[in-house]
Chains A and B, each alone.
Chain A
Amino acid sequence: MGEAPLLKELYAQYKDQGVTVVGISLDEDIKPVQEMVISKGMSWSQVLDADKKIRKLFNVKGTPTYYLLDRDGKIAAKDIPFKKLSDAISELLKK
């Protein structure tokens, strides 16, 4: 949440290099999510996980939790702290 502006910067920096962000909100209601997405200008895809299925698939225990996937859809990093994300992305881009 507090990282939203930083993630926005990261997204702007990398989106033209084949990097995308998917937000998975664990909220139960869609409305506050839609409002925050607009107010913070998060322009990447957002889905709602009200039925808890996606968080179970990824065994997510709390928020925020980041997963990084490579171009083949394989897990490149899990539960990675935000501050390490940029370096991990640059590494993947070199491959």
Chain B
Amino acid sequence: MLQKSLAQLFGSLLGLVLLVTVSTRAQNAAPKPADREMERVQAMISEAKKEAEQFSKSGGQAVDANNPNRKWAETLWSYRRKHPGTPATTLATTEALRLLVRADRVSEMQAKADTLKLTDAAWKQVITVLLGAAIRKKDYTYFISKAETLAQNSIDPELKAKARFVIGEGYWRKGDIDQARIAFQTVVTQYPKTSYGEEAEGNLREIEFLNVGQPAPLFERATIDGDPFSLGSLRGQIVVLKFWGTY
């Protein structure tokens, strides 16, 4: 009796495993529609990149009307209009805005960014695009007002943390160290133990202790050959520190 039901249980488990295997195979064979959409948008982005490279090699300037980035920004933006609310749309939105910045169409980019609702999933990336545009144009007004709105009013805690963090970066790039410090301090206090919290802490240390003219932090440890090494022992020499990786 017990043996029989065990055999049945085993049989049905086997069946389940087979079923799962078969359906996984089926998924692998035919990509899900969402993946196909993602691939479609990625294909547009790499085509845009290729055309932009050719354009710039042949002497084209960012502001030129025939900069392919303009055309591709339109294409990606109309993709957004036709397919609202998917991950592929988020990517298309971000790239459309990024390409407009590359084509030096910052006010057009801002007008489009203004149409995004506060809850749009693209904001997490778009806010970085806005920072890039601000740095490029050395005008942080629009970026800071948008990021401030997100930091205060978004309901997504990760976006709030990121927005506050990039506000700090924006002020730092702008040279407004006091405001940068306030923003990073807020991130550390309000979002401790997140990656933004940790990065903000690093930036605060850099702002205080890693300026040109300040003594470099000292460290000691064995070299990869096992010899003792101390940075302090190099006093009297000019030192190039290179942080690198084999990867």
Contacts and interface: CB of A to CB of B under 8 A. Distances in A.
A27 B246 CA distance: 7
Interface string A1-39: 100000100100010001111111111001011111100
B229 interface: yes
B210 A59 contact: yes
Contacts of A60: 243
B205 interface: yes
B231 A75 contact: no
Nearest to A51: B221
A23 B244 contact: yes
Contacts, number: 148
Interface in B160-202: 199, 202
Given A20-B238, A47-B229, A75 B213 contact: yes
Nearest to A14: B238
Interface of B is mostly: loop
A77 B238 contact: no
Nearest to B207: A59
Given A22-B231, A47-B222, A59-B203, A68 B239 contact: yes
Contact of B237 (A18, A26, A47, A55): A18
A33 B246 contact: yes
A47 B223 CA distance: 4
Interface string B25-60: 000000000000000000000000000000000000
Contact of A59 (B205, B215, B223, B235): B205
B234 interface: yes
B115 interface: no
Interface string B213-238: 11111110111110001011011111
Contact of B217 (A23, A57, A92): A57
Interface string A71-83: 1111111100000
A24 B238 contact: no
| B206, B218, B222: most-surrounded residue (chain A CB, <10 A) | B206
B2 interface: no
11 contacts: A7-B242, A27-B246, A47-B223, A49-B243, A57-B217, A64-B243, A65-B242, A65-B243, A67-B243, A69-B240, A74-B215
Interface of B: 199, 202-203, 205-206, 210-219, 221-225, 229, 231-232, 234-247
Interface of A: 1, 7, 10, 14, 18-27, 30, 32-37, 45-49, 53-61, 63-78, 85, 89, 92-93
